[in-house]
Structure 1
Amino acid sequence: MRIVLVLGTSSGGVGRHVRTLAHGLTTAGHDVLVAGPPTTQSTFNFTQTGATFAPLPISDRPHPLNDLRTTHTLRKLLGDADIVHAHGLRAGALAALALPSRKVPASTDIEGEEAASTDIGDGGGASTDVEGAGDVSDGMKEEGGASTDIGGGASTNVERAGDVSDGMKGKGGASTDIGGGGRGTAGAESGTGVAAGRPGKPEGGDLSFGGGRRVGLVVTLHNALTAGGVVGAVYGVLERVVARRADRVLVVSPDLGERMRELGARWVGAAVVPAPEIRESGRGAAKVREELGEGAVVLTVARLAQQKGLEVLLEAASGAYPEKVVFVVAGEGPLRGELEERIAAGGLPVRLLGDRGDVGDLLRVAAVYVVPSWWEGQPLTVQEALRAGVPIVGTRVGGIPGMVGDAGLLVPPGDGKAIRDAVVRVLSEPGLAEKLGKAAAERGRRLPTEADAVQAVLRAYARDVAPGELGN
């Protein structure tokens, strides 16, 4: 098959996942083209996998004129493709608009009633007009005052666009179970738990994957929408484009799956996004500890960005602990300056290490791994912590609960005191750290592998696969 993998700007998990797929698919004999910003090739070296790379400018935020140019460029790249597999909401919407006009079959909504066919037009002029300031917080539903017209020129008019954050954020408590039913499983019984429950109607017979009447479009959604206001309104429109145009939507957590079904996606399945095996530098633990300083190491690996909840981590670091601790954050991002100011002003025991290539070494000396995020899907860093057998304290959002299971303590998002109390428990409660560490290592052994991820997408590309069959 001729497979085009499309991604936007990435410096972490999405790019690593696309590289995994590119390597596996080319090894299996498929012709793979990766299209994305030039920086992604520099970071992930997709061509080393045997894939071809084509530069495609996809920015973090929508820009009508630039997006129109990108759509035209992408349309040329997709001319001889059998499968287009886009990663992320922006890449997915642009890929959908770049593909030729097609009529979306009737789908089954969340109540089980048949919805009428929707004709979504050519999409060549992907312009967006956002007017007014109201409230379309109920998931961009048409009756809520948000008018969406995705037609011949793919122009979108969103009226009264205001706070659209409700229904787009990851819902706390959503349960996933990665690896719970055995190594490499996914779907209704174990996997991510996404494919189970009221899937859209799998119209496999109407699709022409692998050569036929039209190109198959698969979109993997790696993140939830957390923005509000005008930006949230625009992204809400992009969600609707993906839901109505994609033949397959793969999601990293149950809340994303529910969101796509609500918006009319007719086929929603669980994405399998494994972390690569942990690599250590060979340095001894004493050397690593010497670099980090005295105290029990409380480790977080995250991009320094709003979604990661690092301001909450600083709040947790400000309290009293029964022993000396050092909070270590590996990662880089736009919030570095702001975080450094808060650390200095509060005299907090927090070190920002920047991007690191020795996360395996850091995990080896960590007493506890903390995930303070406002939302996560299948974070690769949590998988790495599980494989390393490190106790976890994480927020109860998105895919974290099912991934962590009995290997950690879960707290509400945005609650620094709850994080602090949980860390104190791990450090001081007799036997707890050992119990959580053993559970983490056991769950880590059952996590899906990179080979499982490749097999899962090949099943998703198949003509008549049902959502729950991806991990079987």
Structure 2
Amino acid sequence: MTPVSSHSPHGQSPLRTVQVLGGGNAGSSTHVRSLAAGLVARGVKVTVCAPADAERTYDFTGAGAEHVHVPRSSDPVSVAALRAVCADADLVHAHGLHASFRAALAVGGRRVRTPLVVTWHDRVHAEGARAQLLRVLERRVMKAATVVLGATSELVDRARRTGARDARLGPVALPARPCPPAEPDDPDRRRPKIRAGLGAIGRPLLVAVGSLEWHRGYDVLLDAARVWRRLDPVPLVVVAGEGPLRAELQRRIEDEGLPVVLIGSRDDVTDLLAAADLALLPSRREARSVLAQEALHARVPLVASDVGGIPELVGDAAELFPDGDAEALADAVVRLLAEPGRCEELKDRGVRQAATWPTEDETVAQVLSVYDELTQPTPLL
């Protein structure tokens, strides 16, 4: 790997960077934590501007960064606080649309322009007037950014169409989850214990993970579950996540007698996947899906919708179905449950596909090479 400079443009002191995170989701917040640790290890000074609750959850200071509480709001007081932190930075790196908009306001209007790098993890969706506002924010952010790093090719293309002067593919690595300690008397005991706790004894276990929101496509999943009631044994579908649609989804499950259980937010997703026969991803939109990556790493066959960055991410290592097509989802699951050979094939393909994804170290190196490019002095002609 080519070494990358961690010095300021003048070569006298460490590169000073500010990472700006708003109300980021788990994916972007985990990425910032991973990035901060990797940058600090390479001699970069990192300040993370994020709400206090993000620091409590992701422990940026534990990664060696300095944390400064900056509220999610874009009001003048919050922007002024962010501007003060960015005043001495060699480079500012923002994650997510709203955080990037605040960062653009904070670094704008200065006589010496501070380079602004934006990582676009996923698109924000909305309806009506809010959708129009988001389009305006997208244009403002893309035009203000010195470099936009899109997590998928689709996001890179959209950034260019929206006005980005320099948009590049910048895949985000999946940080390794800490492995739970093995059972002292039987390392294989964890899987049957988890299945028993979920009620999946003597029946297939299908696992979906994600917030209970419209874009996750759980209505499509419930439609497909009607078909699975006819199987013998009937598969159990477990959905790990919380969100505004919980009551509505639970009502459907009870009214229609569906073999689906909502188990709420969980911090043992690795264990759930290890216990699963199949992983399900029925989303209407996805960028670089964490669940897809974890499923392939865990050798769990994946059935996913063919939206956003999923096809690019998984290649031929998953069963893909058309967005919103509950019948196709149901058929794919029935087929896999009846064909263990196909499941084994997907497991092997998944391992090979996962080996093509960037590691955390490679992700940090790529980001640092962009920093180096943007902060090196321009040679005199």
TM over 0.5: yes
In structure 1, the residue corresponding to 2:307 is in which secondary structure? coil
Deviation of the 1:11 alpha carbon: 4.7
Indicate the residue corresponding to 1:184 in structure 2: none
Residue 199 of structure 2 corresponds to residue 266 of structure 1: no
Q: Matches of 2:211 and 2:362 in 1, distance apart?
A: 26
Equivalent residue in structure 2 for 1:392, among 286, 302, 305: 302
Deviation of the 1:318 alpha carbon: 2.0
Indicate the residue corresponding to 1:10 in structure 2: 24
Deviation of the 1:414 alpha carbon: 1.5
Equivalent residue in structure 1 for 2:102, among 67, 75, 94: 94
Residue 313 of structure 2 corresponds to residue 299 of structure 1: no
Equivalent residue in structure 1 for 2:130, among 224, 228, 231: 231
Q: Which runs of 5+ in 2 are unaligned?
A: 1-14, 183-188, 376-381
Q: Matches of 1:428 and 1:67 in 2, distance apart?
A: 56
TM-score by length of 2: 0.87
Cα contact 1:392–1:404 (8 A) shared by 2: no
Q: Matches of 2:309 and 2:132 in 1, distance apart?
A: 24
Q: Matches of 1:280 and 1:76 in 2, distance apart?
A: 40
Q: Matches of 2:152 and 2:178 in 1, distance apart?
A: 27
Indicate the residue corresponding to 1:322 in structure 2: 231
In structure 2, the residue corresponding to 1:318 is in which secondary structure? helix
Cα contact 2:95–2:118 (8 A) shared by 1: yes
Q: Matches of 1:436 and 1:43 in 2, distance apart?
A: 34
The code of the aligned residue for 2:224 comes to A
Indicate the residue corresponding to 1:431 in structure 2: 341
Deviation of the 1:280 alpha carbon: 4.0
Indicate the residue corresponding to 1:350 in structure 2: 260
The code of the aligned residue for 1:348 comes to L
Determine what percentage of the aligned residue pairs are the same residue: 42
Per-residue deviation, residues 223-281 of structure 1 (Å, max 9, x unmatched): 12322310011111110111111001011122221211112211111122111224443
Indicate the residue corresponding to 1:29 in structure 2: 43
Indicate the residue corresponding to 1:441 in structure 2: 351
Equivalent residue in structure 2 for 1:44, among 51, 58, 62: 58
Cα contact 1:56–1:74 (8 A) shared by 2: yes
Q: Matches of 1:276 and 1:290 in 2, distance apart?
A: 29
Cα contact 1:220–1:249 (8 A) shared by 2: yes
Indicate the residue corresponding to 1:185 in structure 2: none
* TM-aligned CA distance change 1:11 to 1:266, over 3 Å: closer
Q: Matches of 1:458 and 1:306 in 2, distance apart?
A: 36
Cα contact 1:4–1:85 (8 A) shared by 2: yes
TM-score by length of 1: 0.71
* TM-aligned CA distance change 1:352 to 1:280, over 3 Å: farther
Per-residue deviation, residues 123-175 of structure 1 (Å, max 9, x unmatched): xxxxxxxxxxxxxxxxxxxxxxxxxxxxxxxxxxxxxxxxxxxxxxxxxxxxx
Deviation of the 1:335 alpha carbon: 2.2
In structure 1, the residue corresponding to 2:119 is in which secondary structure? strand
* TM-aligned CA distance change 1:10 to 1:337, over 3 Å: farther
Larger helix fraction of residues: 2
Residue 68 of structure 2 corresponds to residue 80 of structure 1: no
The code of the aligned residue for 1:100 comes to G
Deviation of the 1:101 alpha carbon: 2.0
Q: Matches of 2:248 and 2:48 in 1, distance apart?
A: 35
Per-residue deviation, residues 377-414 of structure 1 (Å, max 9, x unmatched): 11122111111111111111111001111111111112
Q: Matches of 2:191 and 2:353 in 1, distance apart?
A: 24
Q: Considering only aligned residues, what root-mean-square deviation do their CA atoms show, in Å?
A: 1.8
Q: Which runs of 5+ in 1 are unaligned?
A: 60-65, 104-212, 466-472
Indicate the residue corresponding to 1:402 in structure 2: 312
* TM-aligned CA distance change 1:390 to 1:347, over 3 Å: same
Indicate the residue corresponding to 2:149 in structure 1: 250
Deviation of the 1:430 alpha carbon: 5.1
Indicate the residue corresponding to 1:418 in structure 2: 328
Indicate the residue corresponding to 2:8 in structure 1: none
Q: Matches of 1:406 and 1:414 in 2, distance apart?
A: 20
Q: Matches of 1:57 and 1:417 in 2, distance apart?
A: 44
In structure 2, the residue corresponding to 1:3 is in which secondary structure? strand
Within a 5 Å distance, the mapping from 1:154-233 to structure 2 comes to 213-233=112-132
Cα contact 1:254–1:398 (8 A) shared by 2: no
The code of the aligned residue for 2:128 comes to G
The code of the aligned residue for 1:94 comes to R
More displaced 10-residue stretch of structure 1: 273-282 or 443-452: 273-282
Q: Matches of 1:345 and 1:11 in 2, distance apart?
A: 32
Q: Matches of 2:314 and 2:128 in 1, distance apart?
A: 33
Equivalent residue in structure 2 for 1:69, among 61, 72, 77: 77
* TM-aligned CA distance change 1:10 to 1:265, over 3 Å: closer
Deviation of the 1:47 alpha carbon: 0.8
Cα contact 1:22–1:49 (8 A) shared by 2: yes
Deviation of the 1:464 alpha carbon: 6.3
Indicate the residue corresponding to 1:289 in structure 2: 195
Q: Matches of 2:21 and 2:269 in 1, distance apart?
A: 25
Cα contact 1:19–1:46 (8 A) shared by 2: yes
